[in-house]
Amino acid sequence: MKKIKTEAIIKIYFFSAIIIIIVGLASTSLFLYKNFYQTIIHSQKIKILKNEILVERIDMDLYDKVIENLDKKKEISMENLSALKNPFESIEE
């Protein structure tokens, strides 16, 4: 009778060891895939994208001139306002 129990226990240990090994291999594979393989793929994509980026230098003098012109256009001079006609007044001839 003791042989039957020990054989059953050995089978249970054997199958549990196989399951533990399979789970360990699966988790190791998942870890390697996420942390190494995907990182290598992302770095290759970054290298490809860096080659596609057009590097353009900004002409700061031209930028400053454009900003100055925009600021001048935003300013309203009071001299020109007095010369404007009132659109709500009736036209008398």
| One-character DSSP codes across 25-54 | HHHHHHHHIIIIIHHHHHHHHHHHHHHHPP
pLDDT score at 52 = 76
pLDDT above 60: residue 1: no
Q: Residues 39-82: pLDDT tens digits? A: 899 988 888 888 777 677 788 999 999 999 999 888 776 666 66
pTM: 0.46
- What distance in Å separates the CA atoms of residue 59 and residue 56, rounded to the nearest whole number? 9
Alpha carbons 32 and 38: distance in angstroms, whole number = 9
Arithmetic mean of pLDDT, 82-91: 76
